[in-house]
Structure 1
């Protein structure tokens, strides 16, 4: 393995700052990354010359993401059938329950949302496509972690290292996480009980591709004020069917259960 190139790493760090901010000035980038002003100036100039960043109209010292990133993202989206298929099915699931529906993939020890359909309620979960969260704190993340081999799970979560929580309800014990993942494997559903947001609960189900690998998870999320055990069970079955339909769209065929 070659070593990481510091200049490239810093340029990517700059681009990733825009995940949470639509526009930034050079001083804001300098403050956010703790880099020297001259380094930031050189990197921003290079990224602007290559159209990865563009000056904001009317504010030439403020930058936003450029067309080159849109082009690369579009190519990625075209290749990712999951995102296209997920959006259509998530819309139908959301229409059935009028709650927020997410589809997410696993990236290391994080989840990244690739599709989202909002509830029409004025009080609803705040999230966005592209958002990244710790997998062990979310329903979709725990579902996908339950599909990993013990070796892959150990690589992400060493058994001797405590996990970082997002709320007081988050799982922080490696042993407890492993026990919880076994429960998820048995039930086929994963719940986030205010573990990533103290005011939100969700239930998630697995999404498989044509090889039988778990490639994503789909969830229904709702504020705690609209959640109760009966709804949790109802939405669990709804998301189970939605995830199964998405799996079928991706070419998955469940194993035969034998003669009836």
Structure 2
């Protein structure tokens, strides 16, 4: 993508330094628009991104040349190119979810008949790295691989927040905010700190309709050899899940223990 910025600048006589960076941001917006719409025409991209049509035509041509987009001429629209798949594959590889962790998440999904998740720190973010679900036990609506919003309102996010130092937690929350996603979302820093203290003490986080209505989630942290929380294993389901709390607690703690043994080098892959 850096080549794209240089190409845009070099392709336009008299272009000033820095214009290529602006074009790069616009190109990324176009990629996001195409991804969100599952393919779009140039006019649809322009409408979605609020860019002039000539700008869209110029940038999509460059994106097609670089294999980030493909032009389906007979359908008069653009879809994602193969290079985007390469980037996504590289991201999954860099996150490197071990086989033992994937197996533990899949086992939770099957044993409890719920959607199950593995969440990790990635830089200063909390991200979903792996999901096991099915049509009978679907993942949280709008939640997908890589999502890192709303940690204060999710069980797995609370586990990860509880694993941070107070300074790291303040920095994270200052950057991401604490918006109300439902009427029961915790939006007070003081209340969240009290809640996270309980999470740290009990080792398990529950949230009841804080992220989405009619949704209940629970999570437990997995630790490395130094005892630090490096990930969280979580499950989600309907409000009836709250009535299965003892069963869910046992299953989550068992899964987290298996993961911790592996992550600390005490278990096999």
**TM value normalised by structure 1:** 0.81
Aligned pair 1:234/2:250, yes or no?
Answer: no
RMSD: 3.0
1:136 counterpart (149, 152, 160): 152
Q: Which segments of 5 or more consecutive residues in structure 2 lack a partner in the other structure? A: 1-17
How far has the Cα of 1:22 moved from its partner?
2.3
2-structure distance, mates of 1:210, 1:28: 51
User: Match for residue 201 of structure 2?
Assistant: 186
Q: Which has the higher strand share?
A: 1
**TM value normalised by structure 2:** 0.79
Mean Cα displacement is larger for which, 64-73 or 122-131?
122-131
Q: Which segments of 5 or more consecutive residues in structure 1 lack a partner in the other structure? A: 255-260
Aligned residues: 248
Q: Output one character per residue of 1:68-100: Cα deviation in whole Å (capped at 9) or x when no partner.
A: 121122233233322644322211111111111
2-structure distance, mates of 1:53, 1:170: 39
1:246 counterpart (247, 250, 259): 259
Greater radius of gyration (CA) = 2
- Contact kept, 8 Å, 2:156 with 2:233, in 1: the verdict is yes
- Contact kept, 8 Å, 2:219 with 2:235, in 1: the verdict is yes
How far has the Cα of 1:167 moved from its partner?
0.8
Closer, same or farther: CA 176–84 of 1 in aligned 2, 3 Å: same
Q: Output one character per residue of 1:9-62: Cα deviation in whole Å (capped at 9) or x when no partner.
A: 222233334554322333333233323323222222222211112234742x32
Q: Which has the higher helix share?
A: 2
